[in-house]
Amino acid sequence: MSALSLALKSTCKCPMVFAQRIAVPCHRQKVNRRFAHQQKYVPRRAMLYVPGDSEKKIHKISTLDVDCAVMDCEDGVALNKKKEARETIASVLSEGKYDFGRTERGVRCNQVTSGFAEDDFKVLFGAKVVPDLLLVPKVDTVDEMEWIADKLKVYLGERQMGAPLNLIFQIESAIGLINLHQIILKGLEKSEDGVFHLTGIMFGSDDFCANIGASRTLDAYELTYVRQKIVVHAKAYNLQAIDMVQINFKDLNALREQSLQGSRMGFTGKQVIHPNQVAVVQTAFSPSEEQIQWATEMIEAFNEHQKSGKGAFVFRGVMIDMPSVLQARNIVQLVQELDLIPPKQI
For every residue of 77-104, which 3-state class applies, written as one string? CCHHHHHHHHHHHHHHHHHCCCCCCCCE
Nearer to a copy of itself, 27 or 37 (CB): 27
Judged by CB under 8 A, the chain residues 108 through 137 that form the site for a copy of itself are 113
Catalytic residue among 65, 219, 321, 339: 321
- Can you tell me the distance from the alpha carbon of 185 to that of 141, in angstroms, rounded to the nearest whole number? 12
Give me the least distance between CB of 244 and a copy of itself, in Å please. Answer: 10
Whether residue 321 lies in the annotated active site: yes
Nearer to a copy of itself, 76 or 164 (CB): 76
Q: Is 222 annotated as a binding residue?
A: no
Among 264, 290, 339, 345, binds a copy of itself (CB under 8 A): 264
Among 122, 274, 300, 301, binds a copy of itself (CB under 8 A): 274
Q: 184-198 burial by CB neighbour count: b if 16+ within 10 A, else e? A: bebbbbbbeeebbbb
Name the CA dihedral angle for 47, 49, 53, 55, rounded to a multiple of 10 degrees: -60
Q: Is 207 annotated as a binding residue?
A: yes
Among 2, 63, 318, 339, binds a copy of itself (CB under 8 A): 318
Inter-residue contact 273 to 339 (CB < 8 Å): no
Judged by CB under 8 A, the chain residues 136 through 155 that form the site for a copy of itself are 140
Q: Is 108 annotated as a binding residue?
A: yes
Among 36, 218, 236, 346, binds a copy of itself (CB under 8 A): 236
Q: Is 91 an interacting residue with respect to a copy of itself (CB under 8 A)?
A: no
Site pattern 61..90 for a copy of itself (x: CB under 8 A):
-----------x-xxxxxxxx---------
DSSP 46: E
Q: What is the sign, positive or negative, of the torsion defined by CA atoms of 289, 293, 295, 296? A: positive
- Can you tell me the distance from the alpha carbon of 244 to that of 45, in angstroms, rounded to the nearest whole number? 12
- Can you tell me the distance from the alpha carbon of 63 to that of 69, in angstroms, rounded to the nearest whole number? 12
Judged by CB under 8 A, the chain residues 27 through 46 that form the site for a copy of itself are 27-28
Which of 268, 250, 270 lies closest to 258 in space, CA to CA? 270
Q: Which residues are catalytic?
A: 321
Residues tagged in the binding site annotation for substrate: 108, 172
Residues tagged in the binding site annotation: 108, 172, 207
